[in-house]
Amino acid sequence: MTAAERLIARDDAVIAGVEKLRFFPLAVQSGMGATLLEPGGRELIDLSASWTASGFGHGNAAIADAIARAAIDAPGSSILSASHPAAVTLAEELLALVPSDLPARGRRVYLGHAGTDANDVAIRGCRQATGRPGILAFQNGYHGGLGTAQRVSGVHVSAGVPADPAVTFLPYPDPYRPHTGDPATVVEDVLRLAGAELAQAATAAVIVEPVQSDGGVIVPPQGFLAGLRELCDRHGAYLIIDEVKVGLGRTGRVHGFEHDEVIPDIVTLGKALGGGLPLSATIGPAAVLDAPVASALMTTTGNPISCAAALAVLEIVRAGAATANASERGAQLRGLLVEYADSGRPGAARIGDVRGRGLSIGLELVIDRVSAEPDPVLTAKAVYRAWQLGVVAYPVRGNVIELTPPLTISAEAVEQAASTLMAALDDAARGVVSDEEIAPFQGW
Ligand SMILES: Cc1ncc(COP(=O)(O)O)c(C=O)c1O
């Protein structure tokens, strides 16, 4: 048994199965930047960044330093019953970072632990503030793994989680797989459905991802978010934009919604915000977030160590280099994959689509390009083989490999990761990985 195998055996004996989304037997001892180290010392390039939570790289020195300093003289662990500077400063800085039509004094920041509670609070607050129950969300969307946030997540509901009683799911505008079959009209087709729903005046809020990540890394065509903005204004519903996965620079802009030049009512952040620690934020109108029912009472809310990490993260975001790198490295990685898709190599014909924004990239694998039939088995084998060859990347929606490396990744690492990924795709298409090897890892 290798050191990694020994750790996985211990993990299997004690960690609850429901918390596992495993695609290959990966165990990690440590990380640095975009590199992960297995217990035996093997290095891998990380194209996931822990599902974007390690967005600014593993062991980021500035963030680690802020955490260490905060831990030494932490003013308690909570902001529930005593104010402390880190949480207040973080809230002030988030209000400055997130654009709004409201003055700062008309807005509030909820600080939570995960994207899930940030979205839960947003939704409950909108319901309370409007007196309306309805939530408009999107098929295959992901907003959380518990409570209301989970019950308005199309991904979970289609997997059997009971839907929230007042949620309506609409198709997300997918230019590769348009719900009506016509990519040219996909935005107006979805907006027409949204308009009809909102016209009934029972909708408290529309919740939407600027790139539908776990739903297959779908980049909506221009005008989608702007159209939702206009409909929300017309019908008195709040627009919640869920930036948990791609916010803080990943798309090549600080906020994913900037690509459509909209100003949301409420923005939720998580994952990368905590610099590796659990932290989330909901930024929105006081009328929504001060409503008592909207508060999620959790003791370590506003935890000063997490807030200190986030202050270091925001400093990195404001400096701009990580966002610019997301744009440049994203273009590099997509360019290499598009070149591969046209190369005639063994795996190339199985690439149906390469898409993305900045360092949020999706590689959709199909049986063949004509039928465009999804190929989740090939996808599972490709990510398994990539791990064997030294790259970590996970599938979403079955047949899409999601590539979300730390925003700090270097051009050399992108080059090396892309060439490893292509070799893995070739091997998977040639049948190098057996069904038995991937059988224990059908997690998602
Ligand atoms: C867009 C989006 N929102 C919310 C969440 C939930 O975040 P968390 O898992 O931190 O609760 C996720 C998680 O993948 C996500 O991708």
- Nearest ligand 1 atom to the CA of 146 is 11
| Burial 271-291, CB ≥16 within 10 A → b, else e | bbbbbbbbbbbbbbbebbbeb
SS3 51: coil
Ligand 1 midpoint to CA 369 (Å): 31
Lowest mean pLDDT among 13-27, 325-339, 407-421: 13-27
Helix (H) or strand (E) holding 112: strand 107-112
Can 142 be counted among the known catalytic residues? yes
Ligand 1 midpoint to CA 306 (Å): 17
Q: How confident is the model at residue 396 (pLDDT cuts 50, 70, 90)?
A: very high
Mean pLDDT score, 373-389: 98
pLDDT in tens, 109-155: 999 999 999 999 999 999 999 999 999 999 999 999 999 999 999 99
- Position 441 scores a pLDDT of 87
CB 214 near ligand 1, within 6 Å: yes
- Position 19 scores a pLDDT of 65
pLDDT in tens, 16-54: 876 678 999 999 999 999 999 999 999 999 999 999 999
pLDDT in tens, 258-278: 999 999 999 999 999 999 999
For atom 3 of ligand 1, the residue with the nearest CA is: 143
Question: What mean pLDDT is reported for the chain?
Answer: 96
- Position 112 scores a pLDDT of 96
- Position 103 scores a pLDDT of 85
- Position 18 scores a pLDDT of 63
Residue of 271, 396, 444 best suited for mutating to test ligand 1, as the one with most atoms within 8 Å of CB: 271
Provide DSSP, 377-420: HHHHHHHHHHHHHTEE-EEETTTEEEE---TT--HHHHHHHHHH
- Position 23 scores a pLDDT of 95
Neighbours of 344 (CB within 10 A): 8
- Position 16 scores a pLDDT of 87
At 370, phi and psi to the nearest 5? -75, -50
From the candidates 110, 142, 172, 238, which is the catalytic residue?
142
Q: What whole-number percentage of the chain has pLDDT above 90?
A: 94
Neighbours of 105 (CB within 10 A): 8
- Position 20 scores a pLDDT of 75
Q: How confident is the model at residue 296 (pLDDT cuts 50, 70, 90)?
A: confident
pLDDT of residue 199 exceeding 90: yes
Whole-number Å distance between alpha carbons of 288 and 294:
7
- Nearest ligand 1 atom to the CA of 116 is 11
Domains along the chain? Answer: 3-59+321-441 (3.90.1150.10), 74-319 (3.40.640.10)
Provide DSSP, 233-281: HHHT-EEEEE-TTTTTTTTSSSSGGGGGT---SEEEE-GGGGTTS--EE
Q: How confident is the model at residue 294 (pLDDT cuts 50, 70, 90)?
A: low
Lowest mean pLDDT among 87-96, 99-108, 300-309, 375-384: 99-108
Residue of 142, 257, 267 best suited for mutating to test ligand 1, as the one with most atoms within 8 Å of CB: 142
- Position 443 scores a pLDDT of 63
Ligand 1 midpoint to CA 374 (Å): 24
- Position 72 scores a pLDDT of 97
Under 8 Å between Cβ of 364 and 216: yes
Ligand 1 midpoint to CA 143 (Å): 5
Q: What whole-number percentage of the chain has pLDDT above 70?
A: 99
Distances, alpha carbon 101 to alpha carbons 42, 244, 339, 362, in Å: 50, 21, 43, 33
- Position 297 scores a pLDDT of 86
pLDDT in tens, 421-441: 999 999 999 999 999 999 988
CB 60 near ligand 1, within 6 Å: no
CB 274 near ligand 1, within 6 Å: no
